[in-house]
Chain A
Amino acid sequence: MSEHHEHHIASAKQLWGIGIALLILTVLTVTVAGLGLPSPFDILTAMAIALTKAFLVAAFFMGLYWDTKFNSMLLIGALAFFILMVSITLLDTLYRDDIVPSF
């Protein structure tokens, strides 16, 4: 293990740029919510903006963009299992004749 890895140091400009982009996206999502788009477009735009923000945080604040791919794989794996959990649960709950009364 003689190779020496220099850790990537993000420039202050980069970090502030990401921070400002996140602020703009926050203003955007509040503005779009105020427009009252018809369902399902309201939730779709809100989630698209939230996913963009999440991507910026994960890639640049958490440094996945410069990091070993293995850590990105862990994050993507977690999201894949989350989607699996939701999908399988919905296969049950969406197709019930009667929602459990006490729920």
Chain B
Amino acid sequence: MANHSATHPKHVHHHFVDSNQQFESAKLGMWVFLVNEILFFGGLFCAYIIFRAWYPELFTQAALELNTFWGAVNTVVLIGSSLTVAMAIRSAQNNQKRGLEINLLITILLACVFLVIKYFEYEHKLHLGIAPGSFWNPTPEIAAVLDHPKANIFFGIYYMMTGVHGLHVIVGIGLMIWLYIRARKGHFNSEYYTPVEITGLYWHLVDLIWIFLFPLLYLIE
């Protein structure tokens, strides 16, 4: 302990005992944040459960307006991106700079594909007047098949849940771009890849939320 800076790797902050303790602390911090995220989305899932218990027939009717095919495609896209994030972490652990960069790029690409599909889904619905809450203004054709007085509530829940999830995807893309820039500069190696690891945890949680949103919203007709 005579010369603090000489015995510590450059990336270890002086208030940590060693690199491993710093890594574990960062991961613990991220998990605490994910707990907060789960309970944040939990409130929305709670609203879903209450309204589905009150109006079961509304949910099965309204879900017909959601496109199961594109929902399934987006599920596959997010699972693929979770795999590439896991592979990115593996690349960093094995000092494979090129593999890390490529996997981060594929992840960014898949996240963008997810958002483009989501955009077209929203655009199609809003075009038909399928909007949340007081903006509910369906075309006569839609109103004929979906004549439930609380139809706007289902879509309020739909837009809120998928919208907040989409916001998380956008934040995720920003983080992945940041990781990519740092990876290009050679900041990560098998000794230090904490940002890749904890951003990965965040990204997997975004995938986890969608794993539940997909069957609950798209698969109930």
Q: Which residues of A contact B (CB under 8 A)?
A: 1, 4-5, 7, 9-10, 12, 15-16, 18-19, 22-23, 26, 29-30, 33, 39, 42-43, 46-47, 49-50, 53-54, 57-58, 60-62, 67-68, 70-71, 74-75, 77-79, 81-82, 85-86, 89-90, 93-94, 99, 103
In the assembled complex, the CB of B23 is this many whole angstroms from the nearest CB of chain A, namely: 8
A7–B93 Cα distance when bound, in Å, is 8
A46–B204 Cα distance when bound, in Å, is 20
Is A86 touching B35 in the complex (CB atoms < 8 A)? no
A21–B13 Cα distance when bound, in Å, is 40
29 contacts between A and B (CB under 8 A): A1-B18, A4-B18, A5-B20, A7-B93, A9-B93, A10-B86, A15-B90, A19-B79, A22-B79, A23-B76, A29-B215, A33-B215, A43-B220, A50-B211, A58-B204, A61-B82, A61-B207, A68-B24, A71-B31, A75-B31, A75-B38, A78-B38, A78-B39, A78-B42, A82-B38, A85-B42, A86-B42, A86-B46, A89-B50
A2–B53 Cα distance when bound, in Å, is 55
B102 within 8 A of A: no
Is B80 touching A30 in the complex (CB atoms < 8 A)? no
Closest 4 CB pairs of A and B: A19-B83, A33-B219, A46-B215, A82-B42
Is A62 touching B54 in the complex (CB atoms < 8 A)? no
B27 within 8 A of A: yes
Q: Which residue of A5, A46, A77, A99 is within 8 Å of B219 (Cβ)?
A: A46
A4–B21 Cα distance when bound, in Å, is 10
Size category of the binding interface on chain B: 35 or more
Q: Which residues of B contact A (CB under 8 A)?
A: 17-18, 20-21, 23-24, 27-28, 31-32, 34-35, 38-39, 42-43, 45-46, 49-50, 53-54, 56, 68, 72, 75-76, 79-80, 82-83, 85-87, 90, 93-94, 153, 200-201, 204-205, 207-208, 211-212, 214-216, 219-221
Is B20 touching A4 in the complex (CB atoms < 8 A)? yes
Given A9-B90, A50-B212, verify A71-B28 contact (CB < 8 Å).
yes
Query: Quick one: closest B residue to A93, CB to CB?
Result: B50
Q: Which residue of B21, B23, B39, B211 is within 8 Å of A82 (Cβ)?
A: B39
A74–B205 Cα distance when bound, in Å, is 14
Q: Hey, which chain A residues are within 8 Å of B31, CB to CB? A: 71, 74-75
Is A26 touching B76 in the complex (CB atoms < 8 A)? yes
Q: Hey, which chain B residues are within 8 Å of A61, CB to CB? A: 82-83, 85-86, 200, 204, 207
Given A23-B76, A50-B212, verify A86-B220 contact (CB < 8 Å).
no
Query: Quick one: closest B residue to A73, CB to CB?
Result: B31
Q: Hey, which chain A residues are within 8 Å of B34, CB to CB? A: 74-75, 78
Q: Which residue of A54, A90, A94, A99 is within 8 Å of B212 (Cβ)?
A: A54
Query: Quick one: closest A residue to B30, CB to CB?
Result: A71
Identify the interface centre among B27, B54, B216, B219: most chain A CB within 10 Å of its CB.
Answer: B219
Q: Hey, which chain A residues are within 8 Å of B87, CB to CB? A: 12, 15
Q: Hey, which chain A residues are within 8 Å of B21, CB to CB? A: 1
Given A29-B215, A57-B211, verify A79-B38 contact (CB < 8 Å).
yes
